[in-house]
Amino acid sequence: MLKSNEAYKLIFREYPDVVNVEQMCEMLGGISTKTGYRLLRQNQIKHFKIGRTYKIPKFHIFEYLAVVQESNA
């Protein structure tokens, strides 16, 4: 199992440190933007807004994936 620091360096390298909703959806396996916005509105993935634009630090996507993995184990 990769440590979060190692995973951060190896996985999603082509994405910036802070992504938008469309990029987040791609990172989560191509989920729809409707599902992506729902995850953000329900605060399942930590994020912030600049104006009306959601910004998601890549680290928080790793946190979300870890929680999902634990709940499926």
Q: Assess whether pLDDT exceeds 80 at residue 19.
A: yes
Q: How confident is the model at residue 2 (pLDDT cuts 50, 70, 90)?
A: low
pLDDT of residue 4: 63
Q: Which residues of 36-67 are buried (b: 16+ CB within 10 A; e: fewer)?
A: beebbeeeebebeeeeeebebbbebbbebeee
Residue 69 has what pLDDT?
81
Residue 6 predicted with pLDDT over 80: no
- Residue boundaries of the structural domains of the chain: 14-65
Please name the helix (run of DSSP H) or strand (run of DSSP E) that holds residue 50, with its range, or none: strand 48-50
Q: What percent of the chain stands above pLDDT 70? A: 89
Q: What is the residue-averaged pLDDT of the chain?
A: 90
